[in-house]
A and B are shown apart, each in its own frame.
Chain A
Amino acid sequence: MIKNRVLGVLVLIGGGAALGLAYLTLAPNRLVLGTGIPLADLLHGWRNVIFLPALLLCFGVFLPPTRRTHVEVAAAASLLLVAFVWLAGDAATRLSSDASSIARVSLGGGFWALLTVSWLAAVDALQRLHLSAVWRTVTGAAGIAPVVGLVALGELNQLSLLKEYLNRQDVFHAAFLRHLEIVGAALIPTLAIGLPLGLALFRRERLAPAVFAVLNVIQTVPSIALFGLLIAPLALLAATLPWLGQHGVSGIGLAPAIIALTLYSLLPIVRSTVAGLGQVPRAVIEAAAGMGLTPRQIFWKVETPLALPLLLSGIRVTTVQAIGLTVVAALIGAGGLGSIMFQGLLSSALDLVLLGVVPVVALAVTVDAVFRFLTLLLDRSQQ
């Protein structure tokens, strides 16, 4: 009877969220808590067409799992996803034209739940289609494009989240760039230290347990504590060596952030370097040596290309992890999107918090997708 349990569960959760949770909240200003508005209140007239893709998803639970069903479910779910976003922007525009200019329309739990559910339904259907990696990436990007379009067209400008953005565009852009700068600046020393260290550990296996033990310990220190631990020694260093201080090294700010991020990032990079080199078949290396490749040629022509896919996935993990950890670095004055988030937390402005968090999540997801895509391309060309 039920052909697709995953979709069934998602439809049930979505139905519950649509009925039981507030889709939007309307507050007289940005600081007070607003009153919830359920989805049902927003569906007037032709907007009820949103039921069409929703109904299709409900049917999808009972349809036989053919390719055609999966295509229809994926299309309906991504259509629904865009419709939910558009509906929020549309409702915000109408609600704010009736209210005072400082009134705020925020996204409620119902919106986030429905967004997540339709996203998962689309992803699940795409996976069942067993598309090639390239097509999976392309369809994923195509599904998100309309949402980006809605934001760019200003359709969502009356939502509180976008108002926060429009009010502090300059601050946001500076913070966003700073965030990227910190992540990028941490990646350079990570790769410069991590890759040779990984290679050394691979060549001298006896060293590996000790080094991995140290890196593991660093990884278990909470990020906020590691940032704090670096303040005193770096301040001392800057005081004793004024030259360093003049070049921006101090107990707070960029220097401790980059050092801490590098320390965290070393473990995944070193581990993936060792694992990547380790999975190069011994027979391939023996054959290469037997045919007269020099050790240097074996390293560059055989070991490096064969280790690259695993290495890239290590860099992916590291980068995504660094994007998240950089948020905390705002606490020691390094800046970045974390500073917007903490500002929001301290002034209990939830939408300001989101303005800091949503780009971090989007950035992490994008970087993750890009690296996965690169890895797949590499794998495909050398399987």
Chain B
Amino acid sequence: MIELQHVSKAFGPTQAIEDLSLTVGQGEFIVLIGSSGSGKSTTLKMMNRLIEHDSGRILFAGDEIRSFRPEDIRRRMGYAIQSIGLFPHWTVEKNIATVPELLQWPGARIRARVTELLALLDLEPELYRGRYPHQLSGGQQQRVGVARALAGDPEVLLMDEPFGSLDPLTRVALQEELSRIHRASGKTIVLVTHDIDEALRLATRIVLLDHGRVIQTGTPLQIVAQPASDFVTDFVGRSEVGIKLLGLETVAGRVRRNESADGEPVAETLTLREALSIFVAREVERLAVVDDDGRPTGCLHFSDLVKPRE
């Protein structure tokens, strides 16, 4: 979908990106992560030519991005940013309709698309389409920002720390929302963040950057379980590696199907990390497990968290 080949970029004397190569495949959810100044935002913005690369090649669907007009390539990629940047003088409807209007969709199709997106992002369409951005909470504004980025049915969604300014509860809710949209639509998403938990929760593949270079690329599990260097371990959080690992697996994988336990059951879709929390909070060693429909599926022992049964 997008391919960066030996890309470099300097701002004056500062080398922001050095010989960076990266391939974003169709349907992947790539999270670019790093501390500030690592070049993650620059990498993202080079993909839609908000920043022009100095050397190397960037291909979009097989063609060098410089062969497109910048506006055309941007209309094929949705874009959402941390400060949201909703147009304050336009209604929610008009904000979301920005790219469809640019693509000159017929009016009825735009209207239907706005309704569909508001519903998708859990905003009552008739209640919110006529509102102005200042009449919305921060979380609602960011929902509109995501809806706006999705509106033109883009081939790729680029997101620059989209949830950075939200409170933890709203952030988790929107992360789940985005995860659901990714699973349902199969859209290719590239998201920039400095929050390792966000990266582990969302990504199908994490790209860890530092000083303009790729330090490690891999699935969340690979990043936590097989860190390429001490830097990666430190970034994940040296003292929390075990906890992070538990966060990557669900109860369903370790449940003992032929046993049962007493007490309030837990859902098998919970992560092991959440299960650990429940063990400690309830001061028990065994938990009953149920599936999505509430049917008992077995039980989980505290020791199962440490290592799966052979």
Residues of A within 8 A of B (CB): 281, 283-294, 297, 302, 305-306, 381-383
8 of the cross-chain contacts (CB-CB < 8 Å) are A281-B88, A283-B81, A287-B81, A287-B86, A291-B74, A292-B75, A292-B99, A382-B89
Q: A290-B50, A291-B98, A292-B102 are in contact. Are A284 and B85 (CB under 8 A)?
A: yes
Determine whether the beta carbon of B71 is less than 8 Å from that of A284: no
Q: A291-B74, A292-B71, A292-B75 are in contact. Are A286 and B85 (CB under 8 A)?
A: yes
CB distance from B108 to the nearest CB of A (A): 22
On chain B, the residues within 8 Å of A294 by CB distance are: 71
* Contact among A289, A306, A382, A383 for B74, CB-based, below 8 A: A289
Q: Is B87 located at the chain interface by the 8 A CB criterion?
A: yes
* Contact among A293, A306, A382 for B102, CB-based, below 8 A: A293
Determine whether the beta carbon of B102 is less than 8 Å from that of A286: no
On chain B, the residues within 8 Å of A289 by CB distance are: 50, 74
Determine whether the beta carbon of B88 is less than 8 Å from that of A306: yes
On chain B, the residues within 8 Å of A288 by CB distance are: 85, 87, 98
| B59-88 with Cβ < 8 A to chain A | 70-75, 78-79, 81, 83-88
* Contact among A290, A292, A383 for B88, CB-based, below 8 A: A383
How far apart are the CA atoms of A292 and B99 in the complex, in Å? 7
Interface residue SS majority, chain A: helix
Q: A283-B84, A286-B50, A286-B81 are in contact. Are A291 and B89 (CB under 8 A)?
A: no
Q: Is B132 located at the chain interface by the 8 A CB criterion?
A: yes
On chain A, the residues within 8 Å of B79 by CB distance are: 287, 290-291
* Contact among A285, A292, A302 for B72, CB-based, below 8 A: A292
Most buried by A among B75, B85, B102: B85
On chain A, the residues within 8 Å of B38 by CB distance are: none
Determine whether the beta carbon of A291 is less than 8 Å from that of B75: yes
Determine whether the beta carbon of B134 is less than 8 Å from that of A383: yes
Q: A290-B81, A291-B79, A292-B102 are in contact. Are A284 and B87 (CB under 8 A)?
A: yes
On chain A, the residues within 8 Å of B73 by CB distance are: 292
CB distance from A298 to the nearest CB of B (A): 10
Q: Is B142 located at the chain interface by the 8 A CB criterion?
A: no
Q: Is B48 located at the chain interface by the 8 A CB criterion?
A: yes
Residue of B nearest to A287 (CB): B85
CB distance from A292 to the nearest CB of B (A): 4
CB distance from B101 to the nearest CB of A (A): 10
How far apart are the CA atoms of A302 and B95 in the complex, in Å? 11
CB distance from B76 to the nearest CB of A (A): 8
Q: Is B148 located at the chain interface by the 8 A CB criterion?
A: yes
Return the 5 tightest CB-CB contacts between A and B, nearest first.
A287-B85, A382-B89, A290-B79, A292-B74, A283-B83
On chain B, the residues within 8 Å of A297 by CB distance are: 102
On chain A, the residues within 8 Å of B158 by CB distance are: 290
Residue of B nearest to A306 (CB): B89
20 further A-B pairs in the complex, CB-CB below 8 A; given A286-B85, A291-B79, A383-B132? A281-B85, A283-B85, A284-B88, A287-B79, A287-B85, A287-B86, A290-B48, A290-B74, A290-B79, A291-B78, A291-B99, A291-B149, A292-B73, A292-B74, A293-B102, A294-B71, A382-B88, A382-B132, A383-B88, A383-B134
CB distance from B147 to the nearest CB of A (A): 12
Residue of B nearest to A302 (CB): B87
How far apart are the CA atoms of A286 and B145 in the complex, in Å? 13
On chain B, the residues within 8 Å of A283 by CB distance are: 81, 83-85
CB distance from A95 to the nearest CB of B (A): 58
On chain B, the residues within 8 Å of A290 by CB distance are: 48, 50, 74, 79, 81, 158
On chain A, the residues within 8 Å of B86 by CB distance are: 284, 287
On chain A, the residues within 8 Å of B87 by CB distance are: 284, 287-288, 302
How far apart are the CA atoms of A344 and B79 in the complex, in Å? 68
How far apart are the CA atoms of A306 and B90 in the complex, in Å? 10
How far apart are the CA atoms of A284 and B95 in the complex, in Å? 11
How far apart are the CA atoms of A287 and B132 in the complex, in Å? 17
